[in-house]
Amino acid sequence: MTELTYREAIRGAIRKAMLADHRVFLMGEDVGRYGGCYGVSKGLLDEFGPERIRDTPLSESAFTGAGIGAAMGGMRPIVEIMTCNFSLLSLDQVMNNAATIRHMSGGQFHVPVVIRMATGGGRQLAAQHSHSLEGWYAHIPGIRVLAPATVEDAAGMLGPALDDPDPVLIFENALLYNHSEDVNEPVEVDIDHAVVRRAGKDLTLVTYGGSLGKTLAAADELGTDGISTEVIDLRVLRPLDDVTILTSLAKTRRCVIVDEGWRSGSLAAEIMARIVEQSFWNLDAPLARVCSEEVPVPYAAHLEQAALPSVAKIVAAGRAVMGR
């Protein structure tokens, strides 16, 4: 067992991949001398040099496009975008190029690029830096979308993502970078399926990423009410693992989805639709969801916390679904 922070786990995964394969390189804003906006790549420039740890200009569209081209040329680039808000500047490259080239070429070309970015609020960085847009990307066919919520997943997702012949986007919740856990080495992570983080029989809570800790805390509080709660960590937002969700729901017959994205058009809404389509007759109560409020994430700390999902909101939703 090794105690690692989420940040150290990602750095270690990048280093391991670069040592194992000379085609792997990291590119993005401030990933070199500065060591990354969140300190993830600190020290890698000294070890691997500027050819493989490449600082880029402030142009997400340009360097994401360069990463896509490098991947098509046989390299294995890891593209870092500071925050998912800024990734919108590269959305054309992701959606119209990376996600479509294999299909538009009839399978002749692949784009094995990994794009990492920070997501989530709670840091008083205002609306330009605090949104959770992973649900938007989970809407796009042709890419895989991952959301590591634990240090183990942060350590183990990059390797199989780099092995994927198609584009993989990894959303790292910025509040997790300092979070530490004991991790078994070597780490092997399944990037195809969700995982049950806590078993229960009365209520299913479905979540991912930065909301996992809040959801587990809510499950503990619901337990004091005698409600046995099962917690599912989606981990993979595209393709969604319907089977794990529906298997849990067949047992508990009640479900709350926790999603830091906005309520309208949310990933939570998609999960609710799939449950209704495939498992309506298993339900003993209406579905519920806890999402961010329909506002740009505020700067003021008290307003920001009010806008985001919280333990209290999850507990209230769980009690309501249980008829308490």
Instruction: Write the pLDDT tens digit of every residue in 44-95.
Output: 999 999 999 999 999 999 999 999 999 999 999 999 999 999 999 999 999 9
In the predicted structure, residue 187 carries a pLDDT above the cut 90: no
* Catalytic residue IDs: 60, 129
Residue 15 confidence (pLDDT): 97
Average pLDDT for residues 95-104, to the nearest whole number? Answer: 97
Using alpha carbons, select from 208, 198, 226, 203 the residue that is nearest to residue 321: 203
User: Sign of the CA dihedral 153, 159, 161, 164?
Assistant: negative
pTM of the model: 0.96
Average pLDDT over residues 118-140: 94
In this prediction, residues 182-186 reach a mean pLDDT of 88
The strand pair at 24-28 and 229-233 is best described as: unpaired
CATH class assigned to 195-321: alpha beta
Lowest mean pLDDT among 120-129, 263-272, 290-299: 120-129
Instruction: Give the pLDDT score at 1.
Output: 82
Q: Which CATH architecture has domain 2-183?
A: 3-Layer(aba) Sandwich (3.40)
ω before 298 within 30° of 0 (cis)? no
Parse the chain into domains and list their residue ranges.
Answer: 2-183, 195-321
Q: What is the pLDDT of residue 188?
A: 87
**Inter-axis angle of helices 212-223 and 311-321, nearest 10:** 50
* Sequence-ordered list of residues with C-beta below 8 angstroms from that of 131, at least 6 positions apart, any chain: 84, 85, 119, 121, 296, 297
Please spell the DSSP secondary structure of 151-191, one letter per residue: HHHHHHSHHHHHH-SS-EEEEEEGGGTT-EEEE-SS----S
Is 195-321 the same fold as 2-183?
A: yes
What pLDDT was estimated at residue 185?
83
pLDDT at 29 over 90: yes
Please state, for a pLDDT cut of 70, what percent of the chain lies above it. 100
Which amino acid is it at 92?
Answer: D
Compute the distance between CA of residue 279 and CA of residue 167 in angstroms, rounded to an integer: 31
